[in-house]
Structure 1
Amino acid sequence: MHNYHAVVWIDNREAKIFHVGLTGTDQLELHPKFETRHIHHKANEVGSGHVHEDKGLMKAVSDAVSDAGEILIIGPAQAKTELATYLREKTQLGSRIVGVEAADHPTDGQIIAYAKHHFKISPLRRNASPGS
């Protein structure tokens, strides 16, 4: 049984993975092996002018979320959909993806708050004593 949820914020420069559960949150940051540069599309050149996904980064992210019960993928541009496609086609994790949503560049706190709201995780409340 999987006892935490994972939210992945990914773009072409990094992936931030948060394991969110009732007892707290853990964070991991992963970076591609290649240095991402701004690419210009030039006339009469072969190629799309887009940065291609780093399969090593995708594998590292899939390993990091392999024990999650549910996976939410967020981020700007196309990296989030590339990750979702990778997880669906190359791993057994595709059925655990509960959402792929746009999120520009939120802070870590905003990502965690968004995940808690999405997964409906609220802080544990202690029972109030009688008469309080």
Structure 2
Amino acid sequence: MSLFHAVVQLDHQKAQVLQFDADHVVAEKIKAHSHHTKQHGSAVRSEHEFFAEVCAALDGITEVLITGSSTAQADFRHYLEKHRPHQVKQVVGYETVDHPTEKQLIALARQYFLKHDRMAGVPTPT
């Protein structure tokens, strides 16, 4: 099921992708795969693989709000701009939050998208 809005709670080890509408919430959890090698750049490759999985989970979603630490958000934004420029426009905002519950995250996202959609002149789908 692909829904119009999603919120992503992101850090460097895991991501929670919550797609939602007025009545439904679909949750997906993504964990980073750590490759502990002495090879130069292996941590960067692991992060890129993780961010690629997050991006794949966002395929087909019209508007996405990214939440989490400011560092994780900045790294994800950089990854998007460099490796997934076609998905940059999906992300309509970034909010720094500290470990909200799933219900708090959905409430934050619904409030955010209500304001965002009104400002953009876009009716919120039901």
TM-score (norm 2): 0.75
How many residue pairs get matched?
109
CA gap of 1:35–1:16, structure 2 versus 1, over 3 A, is farther
Question: Gaps spanning 5+ residues in structure 1: where?
Answer: 37-50, 125-132
Task: Give aligned-pair identity as a percent.
Answer: 25
Amino acid at match of 2:13: R
Q: Which digits, 9 at most, give the CA deviation of each residue in 1:30-57, with x for residues without a partner?
A: 1110189xxxxxxxxxxxxxx7561111
Measured after TM superposition, the shift of residue 23 of structure 1 is 3.7
Which SS does the other structure have where 1:119 is aligned?
helix
Amino acid at match of 2:54: V
Q: Which runs of 4+ in 1 moved over 6 A?
A: none
RMSD across aligned C-alpha pairs, in angstroms? 2.6
Q: Which digits, 9 at most, give the CA deviation of each residue in 1:9-43, with x for residues without a partner?
A: 1012210101112341100111110189xxxxxxx
Measured after TM superposition, the shift of residue 87 of structure 1 is 1.8
Choose 1 or 2 for highest CA Rg.
Answer: 1
Quick check: 1:84–1:97 contact (8 Å CA) kept in 2? no
Name the residue aligned to 1:26: 26
Name the residue aligned to 1:94: 88
Which structure features the higher share of helix residues?
2
Query: Is 1:110 the equivalent of 2:104?
Result: yes
Partner Cα separation in structure 2 for residue 29 and residue 7 of structure 1: 12
Which SS does the other structure have where 1:78 is aligned?
helix
